[in-house]
Structure 1
Amino acid sequence: MKYIYDLHKVMLKQSLLLVYEGEFNQEITKSVLAMAERNMDSFGEQRKVKTKVFNVMVESLQNIVKHSESYQEEIYGKNNAIFSLAKTDDHYFVLSGNPLYTGEVEKLKTRLEEINLMDTNQLKEEYKRIIKSKPRGELSPKGGAGLGFIDMSRKSGNKIHFDFEKINDELSFFSLRMTISRNL
């Protein structure tokens, strides 16, 4: 029972408003978004800030749903991922993590580093370039057009913080943190 109290203290210390760990699907995503919205409403958060946080959350959650593989349970469990929302006096933090195949790490790392090197105008141009280069309705094999990380960077106004931890020979754990200022 002490574990629950210890967990509560950690959440308070880390300013965690919401944490969900487990299988992600569209219904769970809707519930997580609704809880986060109620939390921000209870703080009387500015509409503009709420919109930015909500947009980043949607992209992050869609990334988990679209890109988390349904791994065999003996490898890592079924579609296990984590999502959390934290708040300080000055910022919100959208944090997520999910397994991915180790073979995908270098490509994703390179793309995230490219995005982090772009300024606001370059992000806008890259967004337009991708939109124009995709025939109408064409999606990647995983269901996206490749815009999610660009959109998160644009909407948050900040760089993407990320890391990869090797789980085993087949899988790595992708961690993502996006920061959104409360002072707009």
Structure 2
Amino acid sequence: MELLDLHALQQTYNAQRILLCFNGPLTRSLIEEIGTALRNYLQSANTTASASTDVFGAYIEMTQNIRHYAASKGWEDHEASATVVIARDAEDRYVVSAGNLVDGADGDVLQAQVRALAAMDKTELKTAYKTQLRKPRDEDSGSGAGLGLIDIARRAAAPLACSLRPLPDGRAFFSLSVVI
């Protein structure tokens, strides 16, 4: 195995202001451990309580969605892998990003949902949240009430951003970023 150039990796992380990065299969305990490290970092960085709650909430929602999606597909660990990055942008806001494999059709639907939410203002997002909250939950869907993505969009300081990179096997790599 080739030796990793950790110095170059560190320089890349520093240049992109990456505070935390994970790549691999997400288990419940791993989500908790990374969450604990994230909370500790936010506390030591004297992040405001509201920003800390929003960053942590976005991280939890995104990673749990990835985990639940992979489980619903019955995927092996290597297929259920995710990349999660917490960084700071040029305005010193937190950016929570996560990406994972999805079936191509699922990625198209998800990308359309994210783009629709990104086009809404705060009032429209609040209305969408209340509307979704009142909808009867489909017990057969195997997922939550559909509030998580709307809630992330409501807490975001900028519109949600996503990308979908098609892969040769009919799957795609979906990436979502939220600025807090």
Fold conserved (TM > 0.5)? yes
1:89-133 per-residue CA deviation (whole Å, 9 max, x = no partner) reads 521010110000012122222211211121111111111111111
Moved more, 114-123 or 1-10: 1-10
1:110 match: secondary structure: helix
Q: 1:142 to 1:22 in 2, by over 3 A?
A: farther
Q: 1:2 to 1:130 in 2, by over 3 A?
A: closer
Report if the CA contact (8 A) 1:139-1:145 is conserved.
no
**Distance in 1 of aligned mates of 2:108 and 2:114:** 10
1:127-158 per-residue CA deviation (whole Å, 9 max, x = no partner) reads 111111124xx556242211121111101232
**Distance in 1 of aligned mates of 2:10 and 2:97:** 18
Specify every segment of 5 or more residues in structure 1 that has no aligned partner in the other structure, as ranges: none
Deviation at 1:64, TM superposition (A): 1.3
Report if the CA contact (8 A) 1:100-1:172 is conserved.
yes
What corresponds to 1:160 in structure 2?
A: 160
Q: 1:2 to 1:131 in 2, by over 3 A?
A: closer
What are the equivalent positions in structure 2 for 1:17-56 lying under 5 Å apart?
17-56=19-58
1:78-99 per-residue CA deviation (whole Å, 9 max, x = no partner) reads 3111111012452101011000
Report if the CA contact (8 A) 2:13-2:19 is conserved.
yes
Report if the CA contact (8 A) 1:55-1:155 is conserved.
no
What corresponds to 1:71 in structure 2?
A: 75
**Distance in 1 of aligned mates of 2:49 and 2:76:** 42
Specify every segment of 5 or more residues in structure 2 that has no aligned partner in the other structure, as ranges: none
1:78 match: secondary structure: coil
Deviation at 1:39, TM superposition (A): 1.0
TM-score by length of 1: 0.87
What corresponds to 2:81 in structure 1?
A: 80
**Distance in 1 of aligned mates of 2:106 and 2:37:** 32
**Distance in 2 of aligned mates of 1:72 and 1:171:** 15
What corresponds to 1:134 in structure 2?
A: 136
Letter in 1 for 2:24: G
Report if the CA contact (8 A) 1:15-1:86 is conserved.
yes
| Number of residue equivalences | 175
**Distance in 1 of aligned mates of 2:4 and 2:81:** 25
Identity %: 23
What corresponds to 2:147 in structure 1?
A: 147
**Distance in 2 of aligned mates of 1:163 and 1:140:** 28
Q: 1:25 to 1:141 in 2, by over 3 A?
A: farther
